[in-house]
Structures are given as structure tokens and as C-alpha cells.
């Protein structure tokens, strides 16, 4: 089972309400790497898929929890009607602030959460097409999340 929510951290989520909303139900999504790669062939489809999943109960601001959200026409930028901050769907996840695409992040989480997973940075770099240095940083971020309170949602 692959849970997109595994890449969501409690860091930078100030309100309980937001926190709760980020802990939506876990259900199997992708059974194989081929399946997930086909489902998110490019960055925009990855953003759309993750957005639909994270906001399945409605859009909310990752900064203040407000539900008054404006969506930009680029389909990846949002703005809060309360705190006025701009944000992407990646804000509030383990990959907030990285230049790594959401598609690569999702693939990396999928690879990392396989039952038999023993992912090295060299392997991850080859699998998702990033440099080993980038892969190393991604693994570090994911491992940090792994031991957070979201641990229960981690895995297949």
C-alpha cells in the first residue's frame, strides 16, 4: 500500500484542524512502480494527483488552516484568503522547500515504503533520475518523517 500522506509532516502545521485534515484515511493506491509511473506521467499530473488526495475533504491553508483558498491558473499556486500567503501543495510536506519535483518525491516515497525496501541513495538516484546528492537528501527527509507521528500511516 502506498500512502501519499506519508510525505506530510506535522512541521509547519500549526493548527490542530489542519493537522487532523492531513491525516485522512489510508488506502492502497499503487501496487507497482509501473502503475504509479503510469498514473503520474509528468509533474502536473503528480501535482493534480497529490492535490486531489490531500484536499479530498476540501482545500485548506497549510499555514493557518483557513479554507478560504484562491487557486491560480497555473494549477500549482494557491493563495490563502486569511493569512494571504501563497503556497504550493508541497508546503507542509517533508519535501517543502526542495527543488525536487513532486513526481520524483512520490516515486521516492513509493520506493521507500515498499515492504522489502532497502533503498540506497545510489539506487534511488538511478530509479527516479536525480543526482545521488539529491537522492541522499530526499532519503534523509523521508527518514525523518518516518519516525514522526505519521509512522502509523507509513508502509504498504
Q: What distance lies between CA 49 and its chain's CA centroid?
A: 10
Whichever of 66 and 113 has its CB closer to Zn ion, that residue is 66
Q: Per rule CB under 5 A, is residue 103 in the interface with Zn ion?
A: no
Q: Per rule CB under 5 A, is residue 80 in the interface with Zn ion?
A: yes
Give 135's DSSP letter.
H
Out of 8, 61, 106, 139, point to the residue binding Zn ion (CB under 5 A). 61
Burial class (CB in 10 A: 0-12, 13-18, 19+), 97: exposed
Stretch that binds Zn ion, among 15-23, 61-69, 109-117, 147-155 (CB under 5 A): 61-69
Identify the bridge partners of residue 69 per DSSP, sorted by sequence position.
Answer: 80
Residue 147's contacts (CB-CB under 8 Å, 6 or more residues apart) are none
Kindly state the cell numbers that stand for 17. 484542524
Residues that bind Zn ion (rule: CB under 5 A) add up to a total of 7
Out of 35, 82, 144, 149, point to the residue binding Zn ion (CB under 5 A). 82
What is the per-residue binding string for Zn ion in 23-42, x denoting contact by CB under 5 A? --------------------
Q: Per rule CB under 5 A, is residue 63 in the interface with Zn ion?
A: yes
Residue 17 Cβ, how far from Zn ion at the closest point, in Å?
12
Burial class (CB in 10 A: 0-12, 13-18, 19+), 147: exposed
Residue 44 Cβ, how far from Zn ion at the closest point, in Å?
24
Whichever of 26 and 59 has its CB closer to Zn ion, that residue is 59
Contact 8, 54 (CB under 8 A): yes
* Residue carrying the nine cell digits 539529491: 134
**Footprint of Zn ion (CB under 5 A):** 61, 63-64, 66, 80, 82-83
Amino acid at each position: 500500500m502506498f500512502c501519499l500522506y506519508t510525505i506530510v509532516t506535522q512541521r509547519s502545521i500549526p493548527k490542530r484542524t489542519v493537522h487532523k485534515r492531513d491525516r485522512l484515511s489510508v488506502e492502497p493506491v499503487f501496487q507497482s512502480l509501473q502503475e504509479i509511473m503510469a498514473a503520474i506521467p509528468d509533474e502536473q499530473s503528480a501535482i493534480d494527483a497529490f492535490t486531489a488526495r490531500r484536499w479530498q475533504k476540501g482545500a485548506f491553508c497549510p499555514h493557518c488552516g483557513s479554507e478560504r483558498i484562491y487557486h491560480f491558473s497555473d494549477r500549482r499556486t494557491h493563495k490563502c484568503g486569511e493569512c494571504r500567503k501563497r503556497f504550493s501543495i508541497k508546503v507542509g510536506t517533508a519535501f517543502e522547500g526542495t527543488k525536487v519535483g513532486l513526481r520524483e518525491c512520490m516515486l521516492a516515497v513509493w520506493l521507500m515504503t515498499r515492504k522489502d525496501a532497502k533503498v540506497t541513495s545510489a539506487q534511488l538516484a538511478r530509479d527516479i533520475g536525480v543526482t545521488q546528492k539529491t537522492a541522499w537528501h530526499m532519503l534523509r527527509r523521508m527518514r525523518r518523517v518516518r519516525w514522526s507521528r505519521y509512522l502509523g500511516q507509513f508502509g504498504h
